[in-house]
């Protein structure tokens, strides 16, 4: 124990407060590519005082992660700091030798990475990977290192750490892995912790516990924290200071609550407007005849009264249910070595109905069975028991020609716009593929339809001959939507369709979806883990937990007056839930 450091690094942290710990001045970072040198960070300034928490927000490609990586010289191979200075306790980190940098990493500046799934080495056990950090930073050696490893993991919230040291990363859940990574990051009691999107891969309730824990630890140790995040809610809730980055530059900086309540820069204003929160309202699906397509979320003004009335009217005229699920269950048999199998009830007695032209959201954490429901509705998996009706006819056991006909009318859009498009198919071929598969029209009429669809999803016609790798995430998801629309379906199942997108792009796709719904009378089954998004698009919501639906009601009821404890917990866990963004 004698080797272990005391819990607070500074004797009197009060006096060190308000002194700059980290000062970045005019930082410039670029990447060497085949097309030449591309600057990614173009003159960033920021100051982080001892004991403070600062968040850098921005969309992907804004340079926020690059800035963070430049601080501890972790830029990927082609990246290079080309100008400016990074002063840490008065020392310029950009001028340190590789050897000196090794002493800074871990010991003075800890790092918690984004994705817990890929950031632990799969071939070494957890204990080894933590102990390695402790030994490398000279915190403890020999037997003490092992003891310290257990302490570190327990501090990070793994109470049974002693028994789990010999386990491997794949035996840990995402949340537990992130705790391990936080433990590693804080193991040497660094003065600064860089947390690069530390929880964006986690469920909202897990995210909350982990962030709470991180906040407690860093407060106790007096550690400064540099958050990198795209989530404005998280930033305002967890950080005192905020830096907004856009295209490699800082566009706004200051106290976070102030900035988000009163954003001055147009980009910040756009970000704040697009941030889905509990305070936002449903995007009005009734399409205005002649307004430009602007992102319109907070449309509760006088001009919108007519729209609301129209939406109300739509809600009040009872529509026939297009899809009905009646006590649907799905049981998977899991092999447990040999001939033993275990039954897993992925979907347990689920019932709901979706009236034509409306959106039903299905929310829940990972493992709640929501994606399995999507597969069952799409007839990609067979139900174990229960009944699924489409237009009043059971579709549970249809085969062959009937199934093909059903598929024409119910189409999917999946989460990952990078994985769901074939990289060797051009955009035109991708969109036309369902038409070819279902033998709709001839070559010429298909081409015409592709052009029409591109227009509907607001992509230029020139996109036809391009390939997925030349397009951005948002553009790819538009193509996935166009492909789903190709056969003029009645229902689209959207499985986490906007979860992988930046907030601004997310807003655009959501607007597109609601516009299309109004125009084509589409029915959506919208599956997501993000409650804030639900509020923007859904008419009715079902909350799933462990395969069961625990609450089902209209969107407003669920958000304003949640009945179930689990729903309340989910709502409570949304970062910045009760912060009213300036709009």
Partner 1 sequence: MFRYIGLRLLQLIPVFFGATLLIYFMVFSLPGDPIAALFGERPPPQSVIDTIREQYHLNDPFIVQYLYYVGGILTGDLGTTYSGRPVSDLLGQAFPITFRLAMLALFFEAVAGIAVGLIAGLRKGKFFDASALVVSLLLISVPTFVVGFILQYVFSIQLGLFRTTVGPGAPIQDLILPAIVLATVSFAYIVRLTRASVADNMQADFVRTATAKGLTRGRVVRVHILRNSLIPVVTFLGVDIGSLMVGAIVTEGIFNINGVGGTVYQAIKRGEGPTVVSFVAVMVIIYMLANLLVDLLYAALDPRIRYAK
- Kindly state whether residue 418 participates in binding partner 1, applying the rule CB under 8 A: no
Task: State the DSSP H helix or E strand holding residue 48, giving kind and residue range, or none if neither.
Answer: strand 36-49
Closest distance of CB 560 from partner 1, Å: 41
Closest distance of CB 126 from partner 1, Å: 11
Q: Which residues of 466-501 are buried (b: 16+ CB within 10 A; e: fewer)?
A: bebeebebbbbbbbbbbbbbbbebbbbbbbbbbebb
- Cα angle value 564/569/570 (rounded, 5°): 100
Using CB under 8 A, pick the residue from 31, 43, 168, 416 that binds partner 1: 168
* Coil vs helix vs strand at 553: strand
- Kindly state whether residue 97 participates in binding partner 1, applying the rule CB under 8 A: no
- Kindly state whether residue 289 participates in binding partner 1, applying the rule CB under 8 A: no
- Kindly state whether residue 98 participates in binding partner 1, applying the rule CB under 8 A: yes
Structure tokens at 479: 């193509």
User: What Å distances lie between residue 562 and 205, 315, 421, 557, CA to CA?
Assistant: 16, 20, 38, 7
For residues 364 and 547, what is the distance between their CA atoms, to the nearest angstrom? 9
> Of 295-354, which residues contact partner 1 (CB under 8 A)?
336-337
Per-residue binding letters, 358-387, with partner 1 (x by CB under 8 A)? ------------------------------
- Kindly state whether residue 137 participates in binding partner 1, applying the rule CB under 8 A: yes
- Kindly state whether residue 145 participates in binding partner 1, applying the rule CB under 8 A: no
* Coil vs helix vs strand at 109: strand
- Kindly state whether residue 181 participates in binding partner 1, applying the rule CB under 8 A: yes
How many other C-beta atoms lie within 10 A of the C-beta of residue 290? 5
How many other C-beta atoms lie within 10 A of the C-beta of residue 404? 13
Size, binding site for partner 1 by CB under 8 A: 36
21 versus 126: smaller Cβ distance to partner 1: 126
Closest distance of CB 311 from partner 1, Å: 45
- Kindly state whether residue 445 participates in binding partner 1, applying the rule CB under 8 A: no
Using CB under 8 A, pick the residue from 1, 11, 123, 424 that binds partner 1: 123
Q: In what order do the strands lie in the sheet with 53-57?
A: 109-112, 192-196, 224-229, 53-57, 241-246, 249-255
> Of 192-221, which residues contact partner 1 (CB under 8 A)?
none
Using CB under 8 A, pick the residue from 53, 66, 67, 119 that binds partner 1: 119
- Kindly state whether residue 74 participates in binding partner 1, applying the rule CB under 8 A: yes
Question: DSSP letter string over 222-257?
Answer: T-EEEEEES-HHHHHHH-SEEEEEETTEEEEEEEHH
104 versus 350: smaller Cβ distance to partner 1: 104
Q: Is the dihedral of CA 189, 192, 197, 200 positive or negative?
A: positive
- Cα angle value 325/557/298 (rounded, 5°): 110
146 versus 546: smaller Cβ distance to partner 1: 146
Q: Which stretch binds partner 1 (CB under 8 A): 184-192, 277-285, 407-415, 445-453?
A: 184-192
- Residues forming the site for partner 1 (CB under 8 A): 72, 74, 76-77, 98, 102-107, 110-111, 113-115, 118-125, 132-133, 136-137, 168, 170, 181, 184-185, 188, 336-337
């Amino acid at each position: 124990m004698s080797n272990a450091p005391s819990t607070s690094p500074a004797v009197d942290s009060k006096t060190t407060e308000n002194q700059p710990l980290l000062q970045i001045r005019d930082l410039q970072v670029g990447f060497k590519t085949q097309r030449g040198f591309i600057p990614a960070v173009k003159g960033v300034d920021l100051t982080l005082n001892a004991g403070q928490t600062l968040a850098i927000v921005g969309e992907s490609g804004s340079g926020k992660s690059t800035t963070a990586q430049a601080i501890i010289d972790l830029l990927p191979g082609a990246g290079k700091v080309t100008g400016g200075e990074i002063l840490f306790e008065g020392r310029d980190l950009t001028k340190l030798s590789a050897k000196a940098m090794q002493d800074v990493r871990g010991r003075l500046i800890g790092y918690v990475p984004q994705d817990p799934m890929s950031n632990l080495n799969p071939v070494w056990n957890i204990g080894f990977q933590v102990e390695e950090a402790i030994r490398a930073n000279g915190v403890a050696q020999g037997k003490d290192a092992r003891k310290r490893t257990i302490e570190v993991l327990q501090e990070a919230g793994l109470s049974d750490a002693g028994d789990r040291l010999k386990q491997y990363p794949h035996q840990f859940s995402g949340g537990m892995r992130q705790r391990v990574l936080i433990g590693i990051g804080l193991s040497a009691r660094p003065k600064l912790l860089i947390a690069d999107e530390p929880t964006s891969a986690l469920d909202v309730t897990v995210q909350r516990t982990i962030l709470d824990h991180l906040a407690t630890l860093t407060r106790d140790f007096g550690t400064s924290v540099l958050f990198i995040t795209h989530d404005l809610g998280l930033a305002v809730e967890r950080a005192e200071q905020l830096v907004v980055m856009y295209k490699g530059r800082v566009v706004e900086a200051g106290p976070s609550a102030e900035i988000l309540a009163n954003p001055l820069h147009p980009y910040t204003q756009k970000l704040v407007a697009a941030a889905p929160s509990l305070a936002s309202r449903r995007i009005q699906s009734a399409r205005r005849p002649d307004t430009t397509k602007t992102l319109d979320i907070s449309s509760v003004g006088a001009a919108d009264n007519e729209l609301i009335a129209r939406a109300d009217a739509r809600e009040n005229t009872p529509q026939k249910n297009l899809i009905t699920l009646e006590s649907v269950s799905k049981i998977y048999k899991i092999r447990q070595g040999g001939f033993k199998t275990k039954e897993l009830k992925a979907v347990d007695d689920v019932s709901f109905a979706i009236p034509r032209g409306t959106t039903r959201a299905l929310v829940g954490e990972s493992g709640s069975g929501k994606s399995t429901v999507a597969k069952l509705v799409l007839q990609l998996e067979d139900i174990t028991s229960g009944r699924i009706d489409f237009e009043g006819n059971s579709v549970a056991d249809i085969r062959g020609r009937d199934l093909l006909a059903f598929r024409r009318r119910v189409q999917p859009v999946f989460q990952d716009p990078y994985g769901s498009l074939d990289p060797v198919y051009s955009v035109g071929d991708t969109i036309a593929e369902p038409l070819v598969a279902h033998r709709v029209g001839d070559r010429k009429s298909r081409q015409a339809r592709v052009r029409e669809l591109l227009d509907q999803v607001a992509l230029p016609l020139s996109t036809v001959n391009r390939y997925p790798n030349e397009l951005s995430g948002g553009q790819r998801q538009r193509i996935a939507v166009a492909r789903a629309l190709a056969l003029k379906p009645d229902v689209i199942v959207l499985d986490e369709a906007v979860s992988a997108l930046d907030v601004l792009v997310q807003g655009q796709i959501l607007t597109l979806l609601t516009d299309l719904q109004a125009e084509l009378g589409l029915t959506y089954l919208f599956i997501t883990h993000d409650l804030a998004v639900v509020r923007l698009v859904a008419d009715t919501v079902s909350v799933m937990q462990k395969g069961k639906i625990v609450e089902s009601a209209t969107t407003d009821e669920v958000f304003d007056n949640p009945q179930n404890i689990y729903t309340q917990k989910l709502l409570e866990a949304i970062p910045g839930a009760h912060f009213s963004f300036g709009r």
